[in-house]
């Protein structure tokens, strides 16, 4: 498994930088989303959305766009 950088686009169309822990078959095991240079950890959906100033419905479902491998 390795971390890759990329972007995440939430259901309301907003995009944030992120890092994604991806296994060998491409499944995402964890992610960090960054807002104002600070990582927001996805612990529970309500708290996560609230920290972005959004509702759960504005955030989920979301899409990711992956970049290069950052580290393993």
CA distance 40 to 58: 16
pLDDT tens-digit profile of 48-63? Answer: 889 999 998 898 878 8
pTM, whole model, 2 decimals?
0.67
Classify residue 71: in a domain, yes or no.
no
Q: In the structure encoding, which two tokens stand for residue 48, read together?
A: 């996560």
pLDDT tens-digit profile of 6-31? Answer: 999 998 999 999 998 888 888 777 78
Going by the DSSP 8-state scheme, the letter that residue 52 receives in this structure is: T
From the CB of residue 22, how many other CB atoms can be counted at a distance below 10 Å? 19
Q: How many separate domains does the chain show?
A: 1
Q: Name the residue range of residue 60's domain.
A: 2-66
């Amino acid at each position: 498994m390795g971390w890759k950088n990329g972007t995440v686009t939430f259901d309301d169309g907003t995009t944030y930088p992120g890092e994604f822990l991806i296994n060998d078959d491409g499944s995402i095991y964890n992610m960090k989303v960054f807002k104002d240079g600070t990582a927001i950890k996805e612990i529970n959906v309500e708290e996560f959305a609230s920290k972005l100033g959004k509702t759960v419905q504005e955030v989920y479902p979301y899409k990711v766009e992956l970049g290069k491998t950052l580290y393993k």
